[in-house]
Structure 1
Amino acid sequence: MTEVRTPRLILRRRHDDDLAPMADITADPQVTRWVADGSVQDLDQTAEAMQRWEEEWDEGGFGLFAAELPASGEAAGFVGLSVPEFLPEVLPAVGISCRLGPQFWGQGDASEGAHATSEFALQDRGLDRVISISAVDDDAPENVMRKLGMVLARETTHPVYGIPLNVHAIDLTEFHA
């Protein structure tokens, strides 16, 4: 089983009992405000998304990790690597994605998880570059990307929803683990 540990997080492949807490996270309009068209997801949609995570792991050797707090075993959300197929203009690319419950915001968990994911991409998966995509007005991921040393690679628009997006990138040979 693939697992990455940080001082405050366990990044691991999903367990069946992650569905309920992940569904709570993806049903929260605060969390999904900046994702695609901003719609929340129900339990079935979350289950389908989690199944796709496992398929990405099986097919590509990387995917989204469930982010767990080691002290409590609580699922905080997810962070990891995915191929941003919704944005063909950046392909082939692998992106860092993160979505945490609001109770975990502002504590450094997203930055810590994204940093560990970058190390995983470089050291364990041999990737030489990763990107991250965010809505232009969403400041939280911009801060995380800046902490990772990512730079703005392009401005674009979501091809389906017309939302302005920023694409940041980092050459992992320049990443400071």
Structure 2
Amino acid sequence: MTEIHTPRLLLRRWLDDDVVPLSDIHADPEVMRWVGDGTLRSLEETAQDIEDWEEEWDDEGFGMFAVELLGSGELAGAVGLYRADSPPVVADQVAIGWRLGRQFWGQGYASEAAQATLEFALQDRGLDRVVAACRTGDTASTNVLHKLGMRPAGAYQDPDQGHDLRVFEIDLTEYEA
């Protein structure tokens, strides 16, 4: 079982007990504001998300991690890698993404988890490049991407959602520098 320990977090595969707390996160309009089209996710949809993420782990050797606080064991959210299917500018590339419950914002958890995930991608899984698509206006995620050392790779409009996006990227040579 793939697990990553950071100073404050455990990044791990998903458990059945994670469905309800992740569903609570998915039911928060402020959290989901920047995810996809912003639609809230039901308990059933969240369970399907977790099932899909676990299948991606089995198929790709990477996926979305459950983010657990080491001190309390509380589920803070999700961070990880996925094979993007949209927007077209990043389709079929390995992307990094995250979503944390609002009570965990502003504490550096997203940066800590994303940094560990990026290291996992580039060093453990041998990926040579990782991308991210971030909606224009999502300054918190943009700040995390800058902290990761990811560089802007262009601005686009998502033809499916109509949102303005900024794409970021990093490759192994940039990460190691």
Gaps of 5+ in 1: none
Q: Over aligned residue pairs, what C-alpha RMSD do you find? A: 1.2
Query: For the residues of structure 2 that align with 1:142 and 1:135, how far apart are their CA atoms?
Result: 9
Question: Aligned partners of 2:69 and 2:79: how far apart in 1?
Answer: 13
In the other structure, the counterpart of 1:109 is 109
Determine if contact 1:81/1:97 at 8 Å carries over to the other structure. Answer: yes
Distance 1:173 1:92 in 2: 21
Q: What is the TM-score normalised by the length of structure 2?
A: 0.96
State the 1:176 CA deviation: 4.7
Partner of 1:163: 163
CA distance in 2, matches of 1:176, 1:89: 25
AA aligned to 1:33 is R
- Corresponding residue for 1:145? 145
Give the counterpart letter for 2:131 in structure 1. Answer: I
Task: Please list, as runs of the form range in 1=range in 2, the aligned pairs for 1:62-81 lying within 5 A after superposition.
Answer: 62-81=62-81
Post-superposition offset of 1:171? 1.1
What per-residue deviation string (whole Å, max 9, x for no partner) do you get for residues 109-149 of structure 1? 00000100011001110001101111111101100000011
Alpha carbons 1:86, 1:159 under 8 Å: kept: no
Distance 1:83 1:26 in 2: 21
**Which amino acid is the alignment partner of residue 7 of structure 2?**
P
Once residues 117 and 162 of structure 2 are traced to their aligned partners in structure 1, the CA distance between those partners, rounded to angstroms, is: 29
Q: 4+ residue stretches of structure 1 with deviation over 4 A?
A: none
Q: What is the TM-score of this pair, normalised by structure 1?
A: 0.96
1:1-177 correspondence runs (5 A):
1-176=1-176
The one-letter code sitting in structure 1 at the alignment partner of 2:72 is: S
1:141-168 C-alpha deviation (Å, 9 max, x unpaired): 1000000111111211122111111110
Partner amino acid, structure 2, of 1:13: R
Q: Indicate conservation of the 8 Å contact 1:118/1:172, yes or no.
A: no
Q: Distance in 2 between matches of 1:101 and 1:91?
A: 27
The code of the aligned residue for 1:145 comes to L
Of all paired residues, the percent bearing the same amino acid is 56
Number of residues paired by the alignment?
A: 177
Tell which deviates more after alignment, 86-95 or 123-132.
86-95
Secondary structure of the 1:152 match is strand
- Pairwise CA distance, 1:89: 2.6
Question: Are the equivalent residues in 2 in contact too, given 1:21–1:75 (CA < 8 A)?
Answer: yes
Q: Give CA-to-partner distance per residue, 1:35-57, whole Å, 9 cap, x none.
A: 12211111011111111100100
Query: Secondary structure of 1:175's partner?
Result: helix
